[in-house]
Amino acid sequence: MIELTLENNVAEIVLNAPHKLNSLDEQALTDLSSAYDDAARAAATGAVRTLVLRGEGRAFCAGRDISGVDPETDDAVAYLDGLVTPLLRKMAAFPAPTFAAAHGACLGVGLGLLVATDVVYVAENAKLGSPFANLGATLDSGGHWLFTERLGAHRTLDLIYTAELMTGADAVAAGLFSRVMPAGDLLERTRETAERVAAGATGAFRASKELVAGIRDRRLGLWDAISEENAAQGELCSTTDYAEGFRAFQEKRKPVFEG
């Protein structure tokens, strides 16, 4: 079950199937995609300025729900190309900052959901890696890219061949994600950060999000990145939040951004 709530300019999407560690079947992926559509529509009106993704129960997301999958007839390409990849693209393109609070198992598609989120905070008890050696399958949902980009080829293949899992602390120390926190503090601190960011200059954050994506996906060099930064700054000059930020600085007060 996928749940969406809107409060204090924050959309919170919850993977709520704790009895199966929030693993995702085809219907759950469709519902999750619809939740992001609903949140994006709210963002277009200014009602949503950040988004939090989390899982209920003992895990964030243990990956694909294969409990009812017949390997003789399974169409993995339809599941991945048809459902997972479009969802990940939609998540990555969400028009506001996104945060994930990840605890317990974060595997397969669950790992992919984190790859597609802007900022990921993980609990110390998080488990990340590639369990697929035990299934005769390969890592998917962007896992190869994430691990190779951040860990290098040798460590990536070590994780894949051995199916050993990293803790949340190990993952953050290796540069996979942003911060590690005690499991008991994770959700509260993620929500607090999302609410604080929701009061910020959403347009400026969105510009940075697009710039970072360009550096990552198009491999922009220094001078091309600077050129795009300059253009983005020029566009922001005409926004009310830009004017408010400068006025607040000059008047020595806290800015009140409209987003």
The three state secondary structure string of 151-208 is HCHHHHHHHHHHCCEEEHHHHHHCCCCCEEECHHHHHHHHHHHHHHHHCCCHHHHHHH
The set of residues, in sequence order, having a beta carbon less than 8 Å from that of 40 and lying 6+ positions away, is: 48, 90, 94, 95
State residue 137's pLDDT score. 87
The DSSP secondary-structure symbol of 61 reads B
219 — pLDDT class (breaks 50, 70, 90): very high
Write down the mean pLDDT value for the chain: 95
CA-based max dimension of the chain: 69
C-beta separation of 8 from 195 below 8 A: yes
Residue with the larger pLDDT of the pair 166 and 70: 166
Taking only Cα atoms into account, the Rg of the chain, rounded to an integer number of angstroms, comes to 19
Residue 181 reports pLDDT greater than 90: yes
Euclidean distance between the first and the last CA atom of the chain, given in angstroms as a whole number: 31
The set of residues, in sequence order, having a beta carbon less than 8 Å from that of 259 and lying 6+ positions away, is: 9, 46, 49, 198, 200, 201, 202, 203, 241
What is the arithmetic mean of pLDDT over 81-99? 96
| Nearest alpha carbon to residue 125 among 65, 57, 188, 175 | 57
Residue 70 reports pLDDT greater than 90: no
Helix (H, G, I), strand (E, B) or coil at 93: coil
17 — pLDDT class (breaks 50, 70, 90): very high
What is the arithmetic mean of pLDDT over 187-203? 96
